[in-house]
Structure 1
Amino acid sequence: MQSGFLILLVAIYTCSDWLMDLRNRRKAYAREIAARQAHEHISEHERLKQVNNIAKRQASKLTRKLTRTLSRKQLVPSLGEEL
Structure 2
Amino acid sequence: MAGIRGRRKRSESRYTAEASRLAARLRQAREQRDLTQEQLAVRAGVCVSTVRKIERSEVVEPGYFTIVAMAKALGLSLVDIES
Give the TM-score category using the shorter length: under 0.3
TM-score normalised to structure 2 length: 0.26
TM-score normalised to structure 1 length: 0.26
Q: As a proportion of its length, which structure holds more helix?
A: 1
Higher relative contact order (CA 8 A, sep 6+): 2
Tell me which structure has the larger Cα radius of gyration.
1
